[in-house]
Amino acid sequence: MSDSPERKYIRVIPNLSKFLECDDLEHDFPLSNEMNSDKRYFEGEEIGRGGMKKILLTNDKLTSRNVALATLIRTEDPNQTENFFREAKLTARLQHPCIVPVYDAGYTKEQQPFFTMKPVDGENLQDYIKTLKSDADKNFQERVDIFSKICDAMAYAHAQNIIHLDLKPENIYLGEFGEVLVGDWGLAKRLHKESHEMDIPDLEIQNDKTLHGVIKGTPGYMAPEQINKGLGESDHFCDIYALGGILYELLCSETPNQGKDLEDVLRNTLDGVQKKPSKINPNVPVSLESIAMKSLAVRKEDRYNSVKEIIEDIKKFQGGFITSAEQSSFLKSLCYLFKRHKLVSVLIGLLVISSIVFIIQVYQEKLQVSREKQRAESQKVIAIEQKEKAEKAFQLFKTAQNERNTISKKASPRLLSVGLKDLTGFNFDSARENIQLAVLWSPENRDAQISRACFLLITQKFTQAVQVFDSLENRDRHLQKIYDLAKKYASIKVNDEIFLDTNTMKEFLKDCKKIYYLPISSQNTIRLMLHIVNYAYLQDFYTTEDKIELANFAMTNTNPLGSKWELKWRTNNSKFDIDLSNNKSIFSVKALHSLPIRKLNLANSSIKNIEGLFGSSVSELDIRNCRINGIDLKALKNLKTLKLNKTQSPMLRLRGVEIIRQ
Amino acid sequence: MTNKNETYRTRVSLLHRITQQRDEKSWDDFVLYYRDFIYLICIKMNMSHHEADEVVQQVLIKLWNHFPNFEYDESKRFRSWLCRIIQNTCRDFFRKIKSQNKLKDKVQENGFKKLSLSEIDTIADNEWNDYLSSLALEKIRDQFSEKIINIFIRLANGESPQDLEKEYELKPKVIYVYSKRVRDRLKDELRRLREELE
């Protein structure tokens, strides 16, 4: 009784049906339910901090995406709150793929001002420039691509009359997939130029405040007029100056305006003291250097007029044309023409020179060398061919061997199932052969071994059966019981060549019935009994009386308990005439299968199924008033005479069968 | 498993089949569906596993022998007939144990509760739905990973997805989706079982 209840019986889960019935809204519509949650943003880790705000990386509950949440550090000053929202609204206005998008803004439940943006957690342009320093990469294409995207963003912003005023590599973010995002629009302001756009009136007021006295921006990238108000107002030229600074740094990895201290830096900016990038990095293309230097001019008039002009020049550089920032000359133009059509020019040159050299050399050498080479080649080819042949043959041999092995492994279960099918049809000789073959093909096939042992048990070869069982390990309870049974009868009858006498045989059948102690598996028990008894019928060892006694016993045990009945029988030339008529508690006649029956009378009995008689020797059958399916009659191969009552119809044509109606 | 079942789902209910045709297959199916239910009722009557195991077999033997006498009507009546057989079997079983103990001069306590037929009926009615659902769950078990089934069972036992979140490292949302998938499949299977058994 080692079986645990869990293994044997289904574990019933209490209240499972109730759980299934009550439709839980939360369960069935999780998303709709979630949209009702009242807290939208959760606290996240801090990823950045500015003068007045800090940035947290958090998750937006409603859209299920990560967002960067900006909140004010101190909320006491209403001016700061105003500035904070000003930045949010202004950035939100700018909808361009290269500008950090603002998603949402407002007060949280705790009255904390906030706005959310796309999280920019990759590197920024400053990090990127640092990697360039260590990597002396001559390819300027990627840098120019990044720069032109920044220019696109600024051109768009300027078209919206918004200027950034704090452009620097730190404020430009790079994504993994080529994204370039301009952010930190904290100092940005709207220009007055076309003030008929009045949709954000507060911005106008705020603009004055940013201008008020103090210097705002980052030294080194600030334009001269941002330092010295006397040089003019801050406008889009400041951004153009800063763009020049960014390009300068991209080219040579150094800031354009350098100095010992802050004052020095500011003075150098005002004086326009800058090294040329090519002095720091000799690989810098002249045209790019010209674009940077033109943007960095101290006087506004000397700079580009708009960001669009910078973009045009960058495009010219990319296409290999002369840029507007360079002094053009014929030689330079020719140079660019050569660069643009590098491939063609080089090809023409090469063609002319090489063809002359080739024609001379090839003719001289080829003649001598080719003959020797050919000979060597042909020998090499033969050697390779032979090696390949040998390898192929070896491969073929190996696969054939493997195939044989797998076939025998695969064949074993098939043979076994054929053998078991034979057994079901009481075809013992064929079953023995197939089961033995299954064991032979694959001795490690456990099922085949078990079947072989059972077959030996059925044929009363107990000693051999015990030997097979001994070799099987890990016997479960049923197998153990069969094993015990075999052992018991091996001790009673040692010689496998003789048979049990009728009384011991009955004991044996009874013991078989006890093996499976559940009646379901009673089907298995019955099967085992049927096999044993049908095998016994075929043995000459048993007399006619013995066989009838066994048949009687087996019939009683394979049919439900009911009124006691006797098998009525007569012999006729060593064949049986059996009468089961008027029996109402018989359902199976399988126990009679292998008996040499001539006449079988089932009239008025409860039998509905004679499938079990498939291939039996019955030649005369009486099924008056029985509910037997006509198709089953096909099972009786030796049937010659069939008795029916006046209304019964066999439902199918039986060839060679005489039908008698009574 | 399911595919096989689909094939003999054909119209007639199991009880009808077993009383009318009385073939091996119907009996096998009957045992498959009812054996564990009989066991469950025995356990609810406070028997130990071994006692229940023994009673289940005796009940099945009785059913096997008595089925020819049973007139098929409808499932409700079959269940009370079944209850009556269980009650009788239990009574005989414990009477036998008692007399054996007396012979051996042993006094052994067992937790078995003697119940009236109507009480057993009530237990059977109460347990039937949970039993069928569990049976259905057992049948669809192969179609899901073990993890998903475990999650579902724990939810059915009253745990909340939030409790399971950490242990399985799944978001509650994902747990809901898993659970819903099992529920829907389970309901289908249950409907099929009811068609066959009721």
Contact A154, A182 (CB under 8 A): yes
Mean local confidence (pLDDT), A97-124: 88
Q: What's residue A173's pLDDT?
A: 92
**Strands (DSSP E) found in A538-618:** 568-572, 575-579, 597-601
At residue A381, the pLDDT reads: 87
A655 and A637 in contact (C-beta within 8 Å)?
no
Contacts of residue B74, defined as CB under 8 A and 6 or more positions apart, other chains included, come to none
Give the distance from CA A308 to its chain's centroid.
48
Q: What is the pLDDT of residue B7?
A: 38
Angstrom CA distances, B53 to A18, B96, B186, stand at 28, 16, 28
Instruction: Report the mean per-residue pLDDT for chain A.
Output: 81
Does B2-135 carry CATH code 1.10.287.610?
no
Q: What is the reported pLDDT for B5?
A: 43
Q: How many CB atoms lie within 10 A of CB A233?
A: 13
The answer on pLDDT for A327 being more than 70 is no
CB contact under 8 A, B22 and A608: yes
pLDDT: is A467 or A525 the higher one?
A: A467
CB < 8 Å to B180, chain A = 27-28
Of A553, A555, A449, A465, the C-alpha closest to A508 is A553
pLDDT at A102: 93
C-alpha span between B64 and B54 (Å, rounded): 16
* pLDDT given for residue B111 in this prediction: 61
**Count of pairs with CB atoms under 8 A, one residue in A, one in B:** 89
Using alpha carbons, list the distances in angstroms from residue A617 to A350, A425, A576, A614, B151: 100, 13, 10, 9, 60
Q: Would you call B130 and A34 a contact, using CB atoms and an 8 Å cutoff? A: no
Question: Which position has the token pair 């350098």?
Answer: A258
Q: How far apart are CA A420 and CA A409, in angstroms?
A: 18
Q: Which two tokens stand for residue A297?
A: 């001019």
Between CA A525 and CA A110 the distance in angstroms is: 77
Helices (H), A425-445: 428-441
Mutate to test the interface with B, among A33, A477, A520 (most CBs of B within 10 A): A520
Interacting residues of A313 by C-beta distance below 8 A, sequence separation 6+: A287, A291, A304, A323, A324, A325
pLDDT in tens, A542-564: 888 888 888 888 887 777 765 56
Would you state the structure tokens that stand for residue A134, as one six-digit string? Answer: 């260590």
Is residue A451 within 8 A of residue A416, CB to CB? The reply is yes
pLDDT band per the 50, 70, 90 thresholds, residue A5? very low
Q: Test B28 with A523 for CB contact under 8 angstroms.
A: yes
Enumerate long-range contacts of A514-517, CB under 8 Å, 24 or more apart: A514/A481, A515/A478, A515/A481, A515/A482, A515/A485, A516/A478, A517/B57
CB contact under 8 A, A608 and B21: yes
Contact partners, residue A556, CB within 8 Å, separation at least 6: A564
DSSP string of A218-250?
A: -TTTS-HHHH-GGG---SHHHHHHHHHHHHHHH
Domain locations along chain B: 2-135, 144-198
- Residue range A333-370, pLDDT digits in tens: 777 777 777 778 788 888 888 888 888 887 788 778 87
Determine the pLDDT at residue A205.
Answer: 36
State the pLDDT at residue B73.
61
pLDDT class for A328, splitting at 50, 70, 90? low
**Per-residue confidence band for B109, with pLDDT thresholds at 50, 70 and 90:** low
Higher pLDDT, A523 or A578: A578
Is the minimum CB–CB distance between A587 and chain B shorter than 8 Å?
yes
Q: Which two tokens stand for residue A641?
A: 């005479």
* Test mutation, A1, A10, A611, A627, chain B, max B CBs within 10 A: A10
Domain boundaries, given as residue ranges, for chain A: 45-117, 125-330, 559-662
Task: Give the pLDDT mean for A499-526.
Answer: 73
Q: Is the Cβ pair B60, A12 closer than 8 Å?
A: no
Angle at A16 between CA A12 and CA A21, to 5 degrees: 155
Let me know: does A554 contact A572? Beta carbons within 8 Å. no
Instruction: Provide the phi-psi class of A637: left if phi over 0, else alpha when psi is between -120 and 50, else beta.
Output: alpha
Give helix then strand counts, H and E, for chain B.
Answer: 9, 0
Task: Categorize the per-residue pLDDT at A206 as very low, low, confident or very high, splitting at 50, 70 and 90.
Answer: very low
Is the pLDDT assigned to residue A195 strictly greater than 50?
A: no
Comparing CA positions, the residue from A650, A634, A554 lying closest to residue A594 is A554
A20: chain B residues, CB-CB within 8 Å: 133, 183, 186-187, 190
- The band of A620, judged by pLDDT with boundaries at 50, 70 and 90, is confident
Give pLDDT, residue A210.
Answer: 43
The answer, yes or no, to whether residue A584 has pLDDT greater than 80, is no
Give the per-residue pLDDT at A147: 94
For residue B85, pLDDT beyond 90: no
The secondary element (H helix, E strand) that includes residue A117 is: strand A113-117
Query: Could you read off the pLDDT of A365-389 as tens digits, one per residue?
Result: 877 887 788 888 888 888 888 888 8
Question: Which of these ranges, A184-198, A487-501, A527-541, B111-125, has the smallest mean pLDDT?
Answer: A184-198
| Interface with B, mutate which of A2, A6, A8, A9 (most B CBs under 10 A) | A9
Cβ atoms within 10 Å of A598's Cβ, excluding its own: 20
Average pLDDT, chain B: 80
**pTM tops 0.90, yes or no:** no
A28 reaches B (C-beta below 8 A): yes
Q: Compare CB distances from B64 to A27, A519, A608 and report the shortest one's residue.
A: A519
Contact A420, A452 (CB under 8 A): no
Nearest CA-CA distance, residue B114 and chain A, Å: 23
**Chain B closest-CA separation from residue A47 CA (Å):** 24
Asked if the model's pLDDT at residue B6 lies above 50, the reply is: no
Q: Is the pLDDT assigned to residue A590 strictly greater than 90?
A: no
Structure tokens at A404: 């044989």
Q: What share of chain A is helix, strand, coil (3-state, %, to 5)?
A: 50, 10, 35
CATH topology of domain A125-330: Transferase(Phosphotransferase); domain 1 (1.10.510)
Q: Is the pLDDT of residue A232 over 60?
A: yes
Helical spans, DSSP H, in A160-274: 201-211, 224-227, 236-252, 262-271
Which residues on chain A are in Cβ contact (under 8 Å) with B24?
523
Taking every pair of Cα atoms in chain A, the longest distance, rounded to a whole number of angstroms, is 139
- The yes-or-no verdict on residue A470 having pLDDT over 60 is yes
B2: tokens are 């399911």
Q: Could you say which residues from 556 to 575 on chain A have a Cβ atom under 8 Å away from some Cβ of chain B? A: 560-562
- All residues of chain A having their beta carbon less than 8 Å from the beta carbon of residue B23 are 609
Closest alpha carbon to A632 in A655, A644, A648, A615: A615
Cβ neighbours of A12 in B, within 8 Å: 36, 40, 127, 130-131, 134
Mean pLDDT of A93-118: 90
Instruction: Identify the pLDDT of residue B9.
Output: 39
Contacts of A618-626 with CB under 8 Å at 24 or more apart are A622/A581, A623/A648, A624/A648, A624/A662, A626/A602
CATH code, A45-117: 3.30.200.20
Work out the pLDDT band at A115, boundaries 50, 70, 90. very high
Asked if residue B21 has pLDDT above 80, the reply is: no
Interface test with B, best of A3, A12, A477, A608 (most B CBs within 10 A): A12
Query: Which one, of A503, A502, A522, A500, lies nearest residue A513 by Cα?
Result: A522
pLDDT for position A203 = 42
Cβ–Cβ < 8 Å for A448, A437: no
Q: What is the pLDDT of residue B3?
A: 42
pLDDT > 90: percent of chain A: 13
